Structure 1
Amino acid sequence: MDMEAWSFGSMRALYMEYVRRTEPYTMQIDHFHPFYEIYYLLSGSRIYFVQDRTYTVEAGDLVFISPNVLHKTLQSRDPGHERFVIHFDDAYAGQQFGGHAKLLLEPFRQASPVLRLPPAEQRTADRIVRRAIDEIRLKPPGYELVPPRALTDLLLLAGRYVRDFPLSAAEDDRSPKIAKISDVVRHINGHYGEPLKLGELAERFYVSPYHLSRTFKEVTGFTFSDYIALTRIKEAQRLLRDTDRSVADIAIATGFDNFSHFGKTFKKIARRSPRDFRRESRL
């Protein structure tokens, strides 16, 4: 068997998923989502692209992904790995965490999304995760009580640690190649509303278009054009959800010079039209 998996809960509230793979794997879905994600690597190693940086993730590391942040995992040196993922949304956090929400969500506000705990704390995190996995897999009576407690315990452990030892932006993965692509990604993130052509960016960053295209995919896991489209649609979703601007204005503001192309791209990524997305997000 090259894959083993099981899950708990609903994507609309609290969701947990365990996956073990023995074959090489790179995430095929280019995505962002409106809920929080905690990624815990139990074994193996992975490359994780988050926002505008690429990180090496080792067994025992926690990765905290805030809502609507582009991210993707890529194959590292090890062909297999085990990981545990937790999803929860703002509504769940508000109901479950109450006045402690600021502390428990602190790991999502750090300069780096990757938390490598000291040995004692890491062993505690591992026990929390493995107990949740066993309960979800075996389903003994009352197992449903364990996953919510596991989330709170994990966030409390991480939140207390980063309050005392805030995470700075990691520098260990900053090879010249990765640093160059990070610069390109930050440029795209800041100028998505403008025309962005491969050749023009290659000239701006002093590389050939072929080299930029190939290296961008290698470092981030995204193709150059897919990353731009995802970044623009992510911002379009924010504007549709949080403002009353017209759909046509939002298309222009997010870099689309063709309204039909905007509608088709939005529906391909969001699986619904811009107007349907706005209506559903406000229900």
Structure 2
Amino acid sequence: MYSKNCSLQNNFLDIKYTRSDIISSTEKFNMHLHDFYEIYYFLEGDVTYYIEGHGYQMEANSLLIINNKELHKPIFNKELPYERIVIHFFPWVLSKYDSYDFNLLECFENRKEAHHNKIIDKNKEIFNYFKKITQYVQNKSLESELMVETLFIQMLVLINKKFNKKTVENNNFIKYNRRILEIITYINSNIEKSLSLNLLAEEFYLNKSYLSHIFKKNTGFSVLQYIHYKKIMTAKRLLLDNNSCSEVSSKLNFGDYSTFYRSFKREVGISPQEYQKQRSAIEKYQFFND
């Protein structure tokens, strides 16, 4: 697509094109935990993308839609060149369009978690929007900001139409282990409890070593990593609902506040208090500028 990697950003979205001839250790083991929504467009490589226990085998000109509650990670089946485009955006940047009947975020929000994430772009219609958007971001002309926003909205409309059509189609390209999905559902439904490998092994009548093995194989995460990340994600949501930091720590059974503080800062990069203040300021800014 381009002669070299590029990362482009404006007030509306963040878009990145990357081609890796050699897969780095960061790409192999990076676990995604973020507040924004993601559109991942796959161009080349041999990748199975795991989202909450579902494995999507990627093919050229296919894309994934991923919301801010879905843990995800690529697994590289072969050491082949890896090419992709990724768009990140915060859902609240679309709040100005809420008055319309068409829901631009339907494909991200109106579905069961980790279901129907993959869409095939057979005729490269969505890809053409990516090209136009990146051209305007690079161009930096007077109309660039407006064109990027309007093209992105048009692209979301098209993705939603393809999503609604796709949900009634066959989904044989998804790999999953039914028992792992049951365990994931149990964890998410009981995330406020004190969860452990021992508890899950007893609940599902499985040997601990076997449970650890099949969970890692099917999700790309260890059981404890998954529980940890889900607790942090839930903590972020609770903090934004104006719960105090100590209340969040207690609700999610982190044991003590210092453990919660260290875990949160390690994963998010800032303290719970800083996160709460920062996100509150961003949302207030958005409210007054809509």
Range class of TM-score, shorter chain: 0.7 to 0.9
User: TM-score, with normalisation over the residues of structure 2?
Assistant: 0.80
Structure 1, 204-213 or 81-90: larger mean CA deviation = 204-213
**Which secondary structure state, in structure 1, belongs to the residue aligned with residue 186 of structure 2?**
helix
CA contact (8 A) 1:18 1:133 kept: no
Post-superposition offset of 1:64: 1.0
Partner of 1:28: 29
| Letter paired with 1:106 | E
Post-superposition offset of 1:265: 0.6
Tell me how far apart the structure 1 counterparts of residues 225 and 270 of structure 2 sit (CA, whole Å). Answer: 18
Structure 1, 187-196 or 73-82: larger mean CA deviation = 73-82
| Letter paired with 1:154 | M
Tell me how far apart the structure 2 counterparts of residues 116 and 247 of structure 1 sit (CA, whole Å). Answer: 39
Partner of 2:9: 9
Change (3 A) 1:182 1:133: same
Post-superposition offset of 1:235: 0.8
Post-superposition offset of 1:169: 9.4
**Which secondary structure state, in structure 2, belongs to the residue aligned with residue 33 of structure 1?**
coil
Q: CA RMSD in A?
A: 2.9
Change (3 A) 1:117 1:189: same
**Which secondary structure state, in structure 2, belongs to the residue aligned with residue 39 of structure 1?**
strand
Partner of 2:285: none
Partner of 1:181: 180
CA contact (8 A) 2:126 2:155 kept: yes
Partner of 1:73: 74
Tell me how far apart the structure 1 counterparts of residues 199 and 230 of structure 2 sit (CA, whole Å). Answer: 18
Partner of residue 114 from structure 1, selected from 95, 101, 117: 117
Identity over aligned residues, as a percent?
Answer: 25
Report whether the alignment pairs 1:260 with 2:258.
yes
Alignment of 1:1-283 (within 5 A): 4-10=4-10, 13-24=12-23, 26-77=27-78, 79-95=80-96, 97=97, 99-100=99-100, 102-108=102-108, 109-111=110-112, 112-117=115-120, 119=122, 122-133=123-134, 139-140=138-139, 142=141, 144=144, 147-166=148-167, 170=171, 172-175=173-176, 178-243=177-242, 245-283=243-281
Structure 1, 84-93 or 227-236: larger mean CA deviation = 84-93
User: TM-score, with normalisation over the residues of structure 1?
Assistant: 0.82
Q: Which runs of 5+ in 2 are unaligned?
A: 282-290
CA contact (8 A) 1:57 1:114 kept: no
Tell me how far apart the structure 1 counterparts of residues 121 and 277 of structure 2 sit (CA, whole Å). Answer: 46
CA contact (8 A) 1:93 1:101 kept: no
Tell me how far apart the structure 2 counterparts of residues 209 and 168 of structure 1 sit (CA, whole Å). Answer: 37
CA contact (8 A) 2:119 2:166 kept: no
**Which secondary structure state, in structure 2, belongs to the residue aligned with residue 59 of structure 1?**
coil
Tell me how far apart the structure 1 counterparts of residues 91 and 106 of structure 2 sit (CA, whole Å). Answer: 14
CA contact (8 A) 2:50 2:72 kept: yes
Tell me how far apart the structure 1 counterparts of residues 181 and 71 of structure 2 sit (CA, whole Å). Answer: 13
